[in-house]
């Protein structure tokens, strides 16, 4: 039974663990967080990714946890409604679509349960990879806390700031392309009293989206603002909160209450909107998956679908390769790269908002899972 270390317990890594376990591999997932990560934005399962969810056996659960928005309002800087829709929302697209919008933490939990049910997956929380020593026969991984261990293969599914990518391919700045925006996401009580309705406000280079979740008991709040990446010294959570509050302070309407919620937020995430572009996604016995290898940024709306489809294509390639990881990685990249490029392009198609509906429709299904 081939052993595979997967760095990253998010959507990409957990989906891959379930798919590999089903195919007779023995995956170990190492995740920095002490448990499954809570919080985060609503994410979308679209096009080919719906088929992946079906093959994983989680499609019904995903549908049961989908958001139930009735529509949205777009507001000017003073909170006056300038547009209203009951047909689509900025976060999910058309409300009558077969695509599924659900919370990131719900999807990760569903995938984690699926991986556990498959039987061969081990999860190692509260730890991370610090070094990788590979040779012709395997990879010796070193960890922050656990003892070193040898694996047949290593998969970096550890996100935009991937440690596996840095250790194997070099510094992040060689592959990262900043898109001029930052995103901050956090949770709060539903102090606005929203009922299955989204609000979006923008004034200049800053704005936010607010929508209720958990049967309208909670808000997920997304702040966005322009500018260059934050300096390394301001990347801790409290420092980031201060920067976000500073950049959003000029906005009006409910901004003071939203900033109070930011200060008190039990969960908080902030990062640049960045694309990762690489000439290759594998080196020896190490391969990258999802945002680690081809982040499209949340501006594309397709990060989750890229993660799920990428996990399926990689697992399928490894299962078909008869132990030849070089052939598997080459097949994975050949099949997936055109799909990745189409979906990455969505992030910059429309600088003022989401990509056109026809572009999303074309990109989300631009791959056959069976090759």
CA 172 to chain CA mean position, Å: 17
Residues 218, 29: Cα–Cα separation, whole Å: 30
Which residue in this structure is represented by tokens 């990253």?
A: 8
Residues 299, 199: Cα–Cα separation, whole Å: 17
Burial 295-305 (b: 16+ CB within 10 A, else e): bbbbbbbbbbb
Residue at 237 is within a domain: no
Residues 58, 66: Cα–Cα separation, whole Å: 12
Token representation of residue 299: 């501006």
Residues 49, 312: Cα–Cα separation, whole Å: 9
Burial 105-129 (b: 16+ CB within 10 A, else e): bbbbbbbbebbbebebbebbeebbb
pLDDT at 234: 54
Residue at 21 is within a domain: yes
Residue at 348 is within a domain: yes
Q: What is the CA radius of gyration of the chain?
A: 20
CB neighbourhood size of 82 (10 A): 10
pTM of the model: 0.95
Q: Where are the alpha helices (DSSP H) in the chain?
A: 11-22, 48-56, 59-64, 104-118, 163-169, 237-248, 255-264, 291-294, 303-320, 325-344, 346-349, 357-364
pLDDT at 116: 96
CB neighbourhood size of 66 (10 A): 17
Mean pLDDT per 10-residue segment, the chain (371 residues): 95 98 97 92 96 97 96 93 93 90 96 95 97 96 97 97 97 94 94 96 90 95 86 70 88 93 91 94 98 95 96 97 95 97 91 83 94 71
Residue at 56 is within a domain: no
pLDDT at 232: 61
Burial 184-195 (b: 16+ CB within 10 A, else e): bbbbbebebebe
- Give the chain's end-to-end CA distance (angstroms, integer): 25
Domain coverage including residue 292: 3-46+103-175+275-364
Residues 232, 246: Cα–Cα separation, whole Å: 17
What total of structural domains would you count in the chain?
A: 1
Token representation of residue 302: 């397709």
- Cβ contact 147:182 at 8 Å: no
- 3 state SS of 196: coil
Residue at 96 is within a domain: no
Residue at 246 is within a domain: no
DSSP state of 298: G
pLDDT at 50: 98
Residue 312's CATH number:
3.50.50.60
pLDDT at 231: 67
Residue at 264 is within a domain: no
Residue at 338 is within a domain: yes
């Amino acid at each position: 039974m081939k052993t595979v270390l997967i760095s990253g317990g998010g959507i990409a890594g957990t989906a891959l663990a379930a798919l590999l376990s089903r195919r007779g591999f023995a995956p170990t997932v190492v995740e920095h967080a002490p448990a499954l990560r809570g919080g985060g934005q609503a994410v979308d399962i679209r096009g080919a990714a719906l088929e992946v969810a079906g093959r994983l056996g989680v499609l019904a659960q995903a549908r049961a946890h989908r958001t139930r928005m009735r529509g949205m309002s777009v507001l000017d800087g003073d909170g006056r409604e300038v547009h209203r829709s009951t047909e689509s929302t900025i976060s999910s697209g058309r409300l009558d679509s077969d695509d599924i919008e659900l919370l990131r933490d719900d999807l990760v939990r569903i995938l984690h349960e699926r991986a556990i049910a498959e039987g061969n997956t081990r999860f190692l929380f509260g730890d991370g990879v610090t070094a990788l020593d590979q040779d012709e026969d395997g990879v010796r991984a070193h960890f922050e806390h656990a003892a070193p261990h040898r694996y047949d293969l290593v998969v970096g599914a550890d996100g935009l700031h991937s440690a596996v990518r840095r250790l194997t391919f070099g510094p992040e700045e060689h592959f990262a392309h900043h898109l001029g925006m930052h995103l901050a996401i956090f949770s709060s009580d539903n102090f606005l009293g929203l009922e299955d309705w989204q609000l979006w406000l923008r004034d200049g280079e800053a704005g936010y989206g607010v929508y209720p979740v958990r049967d309208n008991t909670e808000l997920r709040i997304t702040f966005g603002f322009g500018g260059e990446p934050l300096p390394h010294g301001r990347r801790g959570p409290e420092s980031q909160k201060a920067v976000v509050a500073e950049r959003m302070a000029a906005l009006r309407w409910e901004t003071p209450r939203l900033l109070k919620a930011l200060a008190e937020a039990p969960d908080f995430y902030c990062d640049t909107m960045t694309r990762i572009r690489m000439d290759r996604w594998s080196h020896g016995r190490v391969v990258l998956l999802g945002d680690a290898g081809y982040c499209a940024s949340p501006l594309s709306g397709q990060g989750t679908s890229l993660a799920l489809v990428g996990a399926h294509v990689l697992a399928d390639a490894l299962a078909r390769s008869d132990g030849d990881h070089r052939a598997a990685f080459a097949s994975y990249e050949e099949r997936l790269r055109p799909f990745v490029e189409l979906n990455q392009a969505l992030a910059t198609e429309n600088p003022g908002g989401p990509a056109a509906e026809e572009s999303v429709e074309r990109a989300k299904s631009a791959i056959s899972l069976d090759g």
